[in-house]
Amino acid sequence: ACSSAQSSGSSKPPKPSFSKQDLEHYEESGITHSQLSHVFQLSNFRPLQRAAINLSMSGKDLFLVMPTGRGKSLCYQLPALCSKGFTLVIAPLVSLMEDQLMYLKSVDVPAVTLNASSTKEDSKRVLAGMIDKNSPFKLLYVTPEKIAKSKLLMSKLDKAYNMGLLARIAVDEVHCCSQWGHDFRPDYKLLGILKRQFPKVPLVGLTATATSNVLKDCQKILCVQEPITLTAPFNRPNLYYEVLQNKERYKNQSGIVYVFSQKDAAAVATDLQKKNILAQPYHANMEPSDKSLVHQRWSSKKIQVVVATVAFGMGIDKADVRFVIHHTISKSIENYYQESGRAGRDDGSADCIVFFGFADIFRISTMVVMENTGQQKLQNMVAYCQNVDRCRRAMMAIHFDEVWNDDECNQMCDVCRHGNDYITMDITKHARDVVTIVEMASSMDEKLTPLKVCDAWLGKGPAKHRKTITVTSLSRLEVESVIIYLLLHGYFSEDFSFTPYTTHFYLKLGRKAALLKNDNHSITMKMKRRVMSHATVRQSINSAEVFIFHMQAVPFFHRF
């Protein structure tokens, strides 16, 4: 058995899943729809909910990996109602618990919480209720800190366990256990005590994001012997994915705009306000009370848009988010999937749009410079944005090692919807020219930022940077695309330089640059065809491509 949270133990890795037949069996039997509709007023189970509920009811330990908003909570709330005693739920944030308690109250399910802000009387009542045979509540929400620090709570749990009243343990956001996960919480590391102390109580760990390594780690930390892992299909068919290089839209619909920095949050919010859009900023440095005020106003539709840094994340449970716009690209596809996935939780269609800006790549690159795999992850995100010929869902599916069939997109991404709007260009000569610029600079002991390289190539800035080459005929956007392509494919690479105040990003020759000296070497890249449509000529001028769709929607805002 697992003797300490740190023990390497002998536990096996989680089973990826069990057989398809097993799954079908659990998806089709056991808990009934009437139990679902009776209390929760929902008409159908979503994929895997029924299997998860039945497995947990039959006493199995379970890891449930399901995108955010798909309904993981139901998978312990419904079993809680159908079992004697109460279910212990560990959740990382008090705000998360409060949302759930509010919801449970609205459907008449008795639930309580114990956390740092509970009053003495509340705590007393809750602790007494835990060992009351009449079970005055079916769910008890606690923070991991409570488990780690409150001996009183542990003693009551012990007593409840011996009385057969501790029905189940749910560990929400279970990836917080693992340092490999992105939200590590030290107190989650101590939760192994639960399974060691209460081995007969089935445990369910829930998360939206864990990779199999993270799950293995969680399994070890939680001292779960042989959990069954259920992984929901990651595809969100109702989300429309798009990448733009500029643009507009949306009226009276709730949304989130993700930005790079606190400064950007304030600036973009102000821009939107000037356009009479009810927008407010949100970032980590705000007072907690201001943060929750913005969150509340947005939830109750008093404001339309939250302009946020990634600090606006966990605990956001608004069902009718109609758009998530990334004003700046995310630092990885994992982050993007998570952030954009906050749209359309009500199953209604919603848009997930990324504004792909050249300079942003380097801002993020320097931000993640300390992370081991930071550049690689960013490059994958950039490749997602740069892509013009592959279904965006397919790109994500491949990234997450999902089995994928291209029809599943159902025209719900810009690439599938707008089809083959790209041309294959031979960029060999262009590549030679731009690589020469960087080479020449370096022979003069100079380093060039990507922006300087663009300028030099377009004929701006000091002439010494383009002595042996001619000014390019490409547009600025094309110039940027070529440089990004060369960076993604190893003709250029990052050259960071650190000052006490900031990190600079320069371009240097990459491992493949020398190939360009070879006459037979050629490079082709897919680029968007230049299209000017009647509807968008107004403001597009220098964008290499313009999208027209949702013409019924009134133009919403412009990035630039």
Stretch of 62-70, 147-155, 469-477, 490-498 lying at the interface with ligand ADP (CB under 6 A): 62-70
Q: Which is nearer to Mg ion, 110 or 315 (CB)?
A: 315
Residues linked to residue 423 through DSSP beta bridges, in sequence order: 527
194 alpha carbon, distance to own chain's centre: 29
Which of Mg ion, ligand ADP, Zn ion, none has residue 319 at its interface (CB below 5 to 8 Å by kind)?
ligand ADP
Amino acid code (one letter) for 550: H
Q: Which is nearer to Mg ion, 72 or 156 (CB)?
A: 72
Binding map of ligand ADP across residues 133-162, x = CB under 6 A, - = no contact: ------------------------------
Which of Mg ion, ligand ADP, Zn ion, none has residue 64 at its interface (CB below 5 to 8 Å by kind)?
none
The number of residues that bind Mg ion (CB under 5 A) is 1
Q: Residue numbers of the site for Zn ion (CB under 5 A)?
A: 391, 393, 409, 413, 416
* Residue from 198, 189, 227 nearest 64 by CA: 227
Q: Which is nearer to Mg ion, 96 or 350 (CB)?
A: 96
Residue 121 CB burial class (10 angstroms; 0-12, 13-18, ≥19):
exposed
- Phi, psi angles (nearest 5°) of residue 202: -65, 140
511's tokens: 């491992």
Which DSSP symbol is given to 15? Answer: B
Amino acid code (one letter) for 8: S
Give dist(CA 371, CA 373) in Å, integer.
6
Closest residue by beta carbon to Mg ion: 72
Residues 68-87, interacting with Mg ion (CB under 5 A): 72
Which DSSP symbol is given to 349? Answer: -
H-helix or E-strand spanning residue 368: none
- Phi, psi angles (nearest 5°) of residue 526: -90, 130
Which of ligand ADP, Mg ion, Zn ion, none has residue 70 at its interface (CB below 5 to 8 Å by kind)?
ligand ADP
Binding map of Mg ion across residues 44-73, x = CB under 5 A, - = no contact: ----------------------------x-
Q: Is residue 317 within the footprint of ligand ADP (CB under 6 A)?
A: yes
Minimum CB distance to ligand ADP, residue 100 (Å) = 7
Residue 560, number of CB atoms within 10 A of its CB: 9
243's tokens: 């990448």
Which of Mg ion, ligand ADP, Zn ion, none has residue 391 at its interface (CB below 5 to 8 Å by kind)?
Zn ion
The number of residues that bind ligand ADP (CB under 6 A) is 16
Report the C-alpha dihedral over residues 347, 204, 33, 83, rounded to 10 degrees: -140
Q: Which is nearer to Mg ion, 138 or 418 (CB)?
A: 138
Give dist(CA 53, CA 376) in Å, integer.
38
H-helix or E-strand spanning residue 207: strand 203-207
* Residue from 360, 316, 322 nearest 338 by CA: 316
Dump the DSSP string for 244-312: ESS-----S--EEEE-SSHHHHHHHHHHHHHTT--EEEE-TTS-HHHHHHHHHHHHTTSSSEEEE-TTS
Minimum CB distance to Mg ion, residue 72 (Å) = 5
Dump the DSSP string for 469-501: SPPP-S-HHHHHHHHHHHHHTTSEEEEEEE-SS
Strands 492-498 and 503-509: antiparallel
8's tokens: 């390497």
Which of Zn ion, ligand ADP, Mg ion, none has residue 74 at its interface (CB below 5 to 8 Å by kind)?
ligand ADP
Contacting residue, 39, 42, 94, 515, with ligand ADP by CB under 6 A: 42
Q: Which is nearer to Mg ion, 206 or 364 (CB)?
A: 206
Q: Which is nearer to Zn ion, 283 or 393 (CB)?
A: 393
Q: Which is nearer to ligand ADP, 10 or 44 (CB)?
A: 44
Q: Which is nearer to Zn ion, 240 or 258 (CB)?
A: 240
Q: Which is nearer to Zn ion, 96 or 239 (CB)?
A: 239
Amino acid code (one letter) for 390: R
Q: Which is nearer to Zn ion, 413 or 431 (CB)?
A: 413
Minimum CB distance to Zn ion, residue 12 (Å) = 38
Q: Which is nearer to Zn ion, 257 or 409 (CB)?
A: 409
Minimum CB distance to Mg ion, residue 324 (Å) = 18
Coil, strand, or helix at residue 428? helix
Minimum CB distance to ligand ADP, residue 523 (Å) = 44
Residues 328-367, interacting with ligand ADP (CB under 6 A): 345
Residues 64-83, interacting with ligand ADP (CB under 6 A): 66, 68-74
Which of Zn ion, ligand ADP, Mg ion, none has residue 409 at its interface (CB below 5 to 8 Å by kind)?
Zn ion
Contacting residue, 46, 476, 489, 530, with ligand ADP by CB under 6 A: 46
Contact 327, 353 (CB under 8 A): no
Binding site for ligand ADP (CB under 6 A): 42, 44-46, 49, 66, 68-74, 317, 319, 345
Binding site for Mg ion (CB under 5 A): 72
